Chain A
Amino acid sequence: MNPDVHTLTGAYAMNALDADERREFERHMAVCPDCERETRELERTAAHLGMAAATVPPPGLRAKVLAEVSRTRQQSPIAPALPRQRRWAVPVVSLVAAASVLVAVVFGIGVLTANQELDRERALAEQVTAIVGAADARTEVAGNGKVVSSRLLGKAVLLASDQVPAPRSGKDLQAWAISDSGVVSLGLMARTHSGRHAPMVFPTTGVSKIGVTVEPSGGSAQPTTTPVLLVPVA
């Protein structure tokens, strides 16, 4: 996406985008708190244009609406948290088993590589195991991304599945921590020696979502493309 996507805030607030552009802008807004803030303000402004058009509704409308309302079910509130007992009742054994399977899957087995690299991957694997095995570990999955987080440890790990294509030459995958105060780079996504996306461990403080974008080699100061992954942090 080109950088002037930011200028679409006005068109978006007035519903002046077609469906495709609208979706694209919404994806961009998810990693651009400034765009979202401006869009909300402009929606409030556009609402004044709507208010200026207020007029007395037809007399029959009220009865029709109230009749339909009385036979229309309301939606359940968004994203109910997992019931407490379910969250805590997962046997520790299965978590540890899950962790070791995960580590085996992520890192591959039996491939010889430089000791240093293996050490680094082992150290990372230990952190990942700690997070996945934490008593309060919670998992969020969105698209091809998964974030397992532990508020007790104050850490989370981002896992990108093989479905996320490796960046073409001259490009890198860059991860971003998204919070109310803005978007902060978590650095470039590394590859394991077996060629998979390496897990990325990050502090959870204030972070509501993790995004991954394709950026020019070496990374960017702020995301410049639509995220290939956007996963909430539980």
Chain B
Amino acid sequence: MRDRARAVSQLHGPAGVATLTPEELVQQVARGDEAAFGQLYEVLAGPIYGVVLRVLRDQAQSEEVAQEVLVELWRTATRYAPDKGSVLTWALTVAHRRAVDRVRSAQSSADREDRAGRLDAGRPFDEVSEQVTARLEREQVRICLKALTDLQREAVLLAYYRGYTYREVAELLGSPLGTVKTRLRDGLIRLRDCLGVA
């Protein structure tokens, strides 16, 4: 992940930015270093904005939420715990959670059901694949998603990229709750093994 973070920062940020790892930058940010936060922004803004946009599918709202997330990372850098995961994992976990909170609060359940009704269970994978733009990550994730069963893949994509709860996913896919719970877990485990996540 760390190497990828560097790679992404080189893709999106000015040259030479990635001389420090995100972890080293966060240590400086935790001491109130705004310049270090500027560098961290180059590493994290693309992934954060990307995941928020994927869930919310609205540019103005996504910009707002991405801003909230980045400011939250600044505020809480003092409490970043390296043993719980890399900076990139931390940032994306916060970003995804905020996006999901927003999508759940913003839309009435009727809206969501309507949206769900339009979703053809077979389609999310293709749709996601087409929209994915981070080249480095995209190819690997694409390959590994193909290794999942259809139900695992659909459940994972609906939950992660659409922000549905597993109950909603179960309704959408017409599968029992217990099955969806299990598929989310074993689907992610298969992804983990395929991606070589330690």
Q: Residues on A close to B: CB < 8 A? A: 4, 7-11, 13-18, 40-58, 60-62, 64-66, 68-70, 72-78
Contacts and interface: CB of A to CB of B under 8 A. Distances in A.
Contact of B4 (A45, A51, A76): A51
27 contacts: A8-B185, A10-B184, A11-B181, A16-B160, A16-B184, A17-B166, A18-B167, A41-B197, A43-B89, A44-B197, A46-B92, A48-B191, A48-B195, A50-B160, A51-B47, A51-B88, A52-B132, A53-B134, A53-B161, A55-B46, A55-B133, A61-B49, A65-B41, A65-B70, A66-B37, A69-B34, A75-B79
Contact of A62 (B45, B95, B100, B138): B45
Q: 3 nearest interchain CB pairs?
A: A10-B185, A54-B134, A10-B184
A64 B131 CA distance: 26
Interface in B37-76: 37-38, 41, 45-51, 53-54, 59, 63, 66-67, 70-71, 74-76
Q: Which of A4, A40, A57 counts the most chain B CB atoms within 10 A? A: A57
Contacts of A41: 192, 197-198
Given A7-B181, A51-B47, A62-B41, A44 B163 contact: no
A77 to B, nearest CB: 5
B161 A66 contact: no
B188 A54 contact: no
B34 A50 contact: no
Interface of B is mostly: helix
B96 A44 contact: no
A106 B134 CA distance: 62
Interface of B: 1, 4, 8, 12, 30, 32, 34, 37-38, 41, 45-51, 53-54, 59, 63, 66-67, 70-71, 74-79, 84-86, 88-89, 92-93, 95-97, 100, 131-134, 137-138, 140-142, 156, 159-161, 163-167, 169, 178, 181-182, 184-189, 191-192, 195, 197-198
Contacts of A7: 178, 181-182, 185
Given A14-B160, A45-B191, A61-B66, A74 B77 contact: yes
A48 B191 CA distance: 9
Q: Which of B48, B132, B160, B169 counts the most chain A CB atoms within 10 A? A: B160
